[in-house]
Amino acid sequence: MKFPRTYSLKEIAELIGTTFIGPENFPISGSNEIHVVEPGDIVFVDHPKYYDKALESKASVILINKKVKCPQGKALLISKDPFTDFNKLTKHFNPFNSANTSISNSSIIGKNTIIQPNVFIGNNVKIGDNCVIHPNVSIYDNCHIGNNVTIHAGTILGADAFYYKKRKEGYDKLLSGGAVIIEDNVDIGALCTIDRGVSGNTTIKKGTKIDNQVQVGHDTIVGEKCLIASQTGIAGCVVIEDEVTLWGQCGTNSGITIGKGAVILGQTGVTKSVKGGKTYFGTPIDEARKKMKEMAEIKQLIKKQKK
DSSP 35: G
User: Is position 218 annotated as part of the catalytic site?
Assistant: yes
Measured between alpha carbons, how far is residue 171 from residues 166, 168, 296 in Å?
5, 8, 44
Q: What's the rounded Cα separation, in Å, for the pair 15 and 35?
A: 24
Catalytic residue among 35, 134, 144, 218: 218
H/E element holding 11? helix 9-16
Three-state SS for 38-97 is: CCCEEEEECCHHHHHHHHCCCCCEEEECCCCCCCCCCEEEECCCHHHHHHHHHHHHCCCC
Q: Sort strands 279-281 and 257-258 into parallel, antiparallel or unpaired.
A: unpaired
Give the CA radius of gyration of the chain. Answer: 22
Residues with catalytic function: 218
